[in-house]
Amino acid sequence: MFLKFLRLEIKSFFRGSSVGINLAMKILRFLGILYFMGMLILAGFFAFFYVKEEIHLDPLKVVSKFLIIGWVLDLALKYLWQEMPTQNIKPFLTLSIRKNTLVNYMLTKTFLTVFSWINSLFFITFFIIALWNGYSFVETFSWFIGVSLLFYLNNFINIFFNDKETVALSLAILFAAVGALGYYNIIPVLSYSETFFYGFFLKPYLTLLVIALFVGIWWLCFTYIRKEFYLDQGLEAKKTVGKTENIAFLNKYGVTGTFINNDIKMLRRNKVTKGILLGSFMFLFYGLLMFTSPIYKTPTMTMFMGLFVTGGFQFLFGQRVPAFDSSYYPLMMTLNVPYKQYLKAKWWLINIVTAVSMVVALFYAYFGWELYITFFAAGLYNIGVNSQFTLWSGAFNKTQIDLNSKEKRIGQKNSFNLKALLLLIPKMLLPMAVFGLMKYFFGITAGVVSIAILGTAGFLLREKIFDIIVRHYKVEKYSTLDAFKNKA
């Protein structure tokens, strides 16, 4: 039965209306997967021989010491990007197929995704090298099985917390707090990690406990999904007190104010847009990476970080215009909505948030005023130039967005567009190159002023640029409508 399900999914892939784009994206993903597979295999060699030959320590102990970090990162990546394959299974609920078979197939399929098995390449490589270098088979195999199963348990944890954003956020805060305590040597987190994971090598029988835990959580997850696995699950209306939201002062700005009002309501009410707000907030701290690696301290990378720190909301929200309105975009087109006013409302909203981000980013002045001034100049460039180019790239983004579901997919078929990629040149590469060259030849002041001038020029020329953007939206209008109507 499992093989029949897989054959049906392969047929649905080749019978879709966008086979060419699907195939191109699959090829690109395959190349990316090959790259990361090679990197993880090399990491297995490096982790063993570098620790043994250069540091002269036990590689198994050192790897065990840092596995807690890998486990948390693996859980975070799976929560953010790994989807449950429920939509492909639900059509079979009307057929004479045992529900237990469907649920088991869905659980098994989660282990076939790249995020589930790719980290095993590191452990397999490390395990084989350890055996080749004299480690005993029983103890090393016990360590390998115990560690691998703990990483695979993240699949089940992801299923339990998939729609529980409050619980997931609480866990993220807890992990961050524990990480901070370990970083400042208040709690020896890494020592505990070494003791725990290395215990599978010292006491092989502990692996049996992990196997029992894995089987038990599989059963709990199976029971949890089976209980909720109905076509009409969630269709019953929830009885809540109705309320309306309206920001009155925006109404005096006419059509533009009405559009902004609607966008603010959308941001506050839906799962996907709440994730955008959370992601935008997290981007404010992106610049802290500068202090973890020397490469980020170069002038071009400083500007790169400044663009992301001040423009997180702009990049996450702006480039998905009009995708966020995909559910009612056809209706809007029948009402003769003024494109320019529609885009200006988005433009004002993202620039208001960008301006707020520039103010909040003031805490970077603690690390030096030169750094904050660079980020401030990047914010001006985002307001004057990138805000318009981001909206422009939105004209080529034809990916439907379900506002009531958690979006975890990367590289969706309709979001891949060469024109949108070309717009990255003025959005990212131009300010990085200008700032880097001006700072190198004339100093920090010239670099900041040059970026500020570009941002100001873009702001002053916004009306003419908007006319160009509107023309492109009109050119892409019918292909966008077709993409939003076609879910294949």
> Where residue 5 falls among pLDDT bands split at 50, 70, 90?
low
Query: Is 385 within the bounds of a domain?
Result: yes
pLDDT in tens, 75-124: 888 877 776 655 556 666 667 777 788 788 778 877 877 878 888 999 99
**Is 329 found in the same domain as 387?**
yes
Query: Is 239 within the bounds of a domain?
Result: no
pLDDT at 60 over 90: yes
The proportion of the chain whose per-residue pLDDT surpasses 90, expressed as a percent, equals 24
| Number of independent structural domains in the chain | 2
**Is 364 found in the same domain as 257?**
yes
Closest of 204, 184, 325, 185 to residue 259, by C-alpha: 325
Give the end of a domain, one of 228, 262, 290.
Answer: 228
Please give the pLDDT value at position 123: 94
**Is 169 found in the same domain as 297?**
no
Q: Are 353 and 264 in contact (CB under 8 A)?
A: no
**Is 316 found in the same domain as 187?**
no
Q: CA-to-CA distance for 115 and 110, rounded, in angstroms?
A: 9
What CA–CA distances, in Å, run from 11 to 5, 16, 409, 412, 419? 10, 9, 21, 19, 31
> What is the C-alpha end-to-end distance of the chain, expressed in Å?
25
Give the end of a domain, one of 228, 261, 278.
Answer: 228
**Is 253 found in the same domain as 150?**
no
Please give the pLDDT value at position 2: 58
Query: Is 144 within the bounds of a domain?
Result: yes
**Is 324 found in the same domain as 463?**
yes
**Is 171 found in the same domain as 85?**
yes
Give the position of tokens 């215009």.
321
Please give the pLDDT value at position 15: 58
Please give the pLDDT value at position 225: 81
Query: Is 381 within the bounds of a domain?
Result: yes
pLDDT in tens, 359-381: 999 988 888 888 889 999 999 99
pLDDT at 419 over 70: no
Structure tokens at 439: 């700072």
Structure tokens at 5: 């399900």
**Is 221 found in the same domain as 258?**
no
18 or 224, greater pLDDT = 224
Q: CA-to-CA distance for 140 and 375, rounded, in angstroms?
A: 49
Please give the pLDDT value at position 151: 93
CA angle 257, 262, 268 (to 5 degrees): 125
Query: Is 169 within the bounds of a domain?
Result: yes
Query: Is 426 within the bounds of a domain?
Result: yes
pLDDT in tens, 251-284: 667 777 778 888 888 887 776 777 788 778 888 8
**Is 476 found in the same domain as 365?**
yes
> Where residue 6 falls among pLDDT bands split at 50, 70, 90?
low
Please give the pLDDT value at position 88: 58
**Is 192 found in the same domain as 297?**
no
Please give the pLDDT value at position 248: 63
Q: CA-to-CA distance for 288 and 210, rounded, in angstroms?
A: 37
Domain holding 388, by residue range, is: 249-485
Enumerate helices (H) and strands (E) in the chain, giving the number of each.
23, 0
Q: What is the mean pLDDT of the chain?
A: 80
> Where residue 58 falls among pLDDT bands split at 50, 70, 90?
very high
86-90, 327-331, 439-443, range with the lowest pLDDT = 86-90
> Where residue 33 falls among pLDDT bands split at 50, 70, 90?
confident
**Is 307 found in the same domain as 358?**
yes
Give me the mean pLDDT over the 297-326 stretch: 83
Query: Is 454 within the bounds of a domain?
Result: yes
1 or 388, greater pLDDT = 388
Q: CA-to-CA distance for 483 and 469, rounded, in angstroms?
A: 20
Q: CA-to-CA distance for 105 and 88, rounded, in angstroms?
A: 11
Q: Are 221 and 107 in contact (CB under 8 A)?
A: yes
**Is 90 found in the same domain as 200?**
yes
Please give the pLDDT value at position 316: 83
For residue 231, which phi and psi values (nearest 5 degrees)? -65, -35
72-81, 109-118, 147-156, 291-300, range with the lowest pLDDT = 291-300
Give the end of a domain, one of 228, 263, 297.
Answer: 228
Structure tokens at 350: 């993202």
For the chain, give the longest Cα–Cα distance. Answer: 78
Please give the pLDDT value at position 415: 42
pLDDT at 350 over 60: yes
Task: Find how far residue 303's CA is from the centre of its chain.
Answer: 22
Please give the pLDDT value at position 416: 42
Other beta carbons within 10 angstroms of residue 335's beta carbon come to 7
pLDDT at 214 over 90: yes
pTM of the predicted protein model: 0.61
pLDDT at 356 over 60: yes
Query: Is 42 within the bounds of a domain?
Result: yes
Q: Which helix (H) or strand (E) holds 26?
A: helix 19-50
Q: CA-to-CA distance for 106 and 111, rounded, in angstroms?
A: 9
> Where residue 487 falls among pLDDT bands split at 50, 70, 90?
low
Q: CA-to-CA distance for 44 and 47, rounded, in angstroms?
A: 5
Give the position of tokens 């996907």.
272
Q: Are 305 and 289 in contact (CB under 8 A)?
A: yes
Give me the mean pLDDT over the 25-32 stretch: 70
Please give the pLDDT value at position 160: 81
